[in-house]
Chain A
Amino acid sequence: ETGVTQTPRHLVMGMTNKKSLKCEQHLGHNAMYWYKQSAKKPLELMFVYNFKEQTENNSVPSRFSPECPNSSHLFLHLHTLQPEDSALYLCASSQGDSGANVLTFGAGSRLTVL
């Protein structure tokens, strides 16, 4: 399998649930990202990991908890979310320090919070 794979593709959860989104990249990249895509708004960068270390937390609420166990895997743990957190969550990867500036995106996980 190649590229960036995200699971699940769709998730419906209540405000008190705990769930996780998973992202896996098979490109040998060193950097991974979580973006939030809401209707009528620009993509919002949430977190950046370089070589498994978090290098960016863009003022994301603590109900979103990222985890990057290795350069190929990235998780987003979700807990006590709000309805306004419903969105498409996109994972991306890149070479990191190579200067490529090119992101490769997954297909996204569509989250609905009831």
Chain B
Amino acid sequence: GDSVTQMEGPVTLSEEAFLTINCTYTATGYPSLFWYVQYPGEGLQLLLKATKADDKGSNKGFEATYRKETTSFHLEKGSVQVSDSAVYFCALWASYDKVIFGPGTSLSVIP
């Protein structure tokens, strides 16, 4: 079945450091891919998305490129801030019936 794997956390970075969170997926067909973010005490919210191969999603300085050949959708940010501390979930939508989430990666950014 469809599944999402992402790097284990927690990840701790200093402010202004470069961030990469790896995500790979298994799916039949051509899924849409997402990154969601969950700030402490809140629900998940969409960070960025890509709907077809080679698409790049971007938002708030975060980027991810849909790589069909490597079935990956890695999240990157050039310079993280303390306010980026949150849990990040990679997800896929292979049908209209459900969105499958990865286990989440906790990020802590220290000043």
Do A and B make up one complex?
no
On A, residues with C-beta under 8 Å from B are none
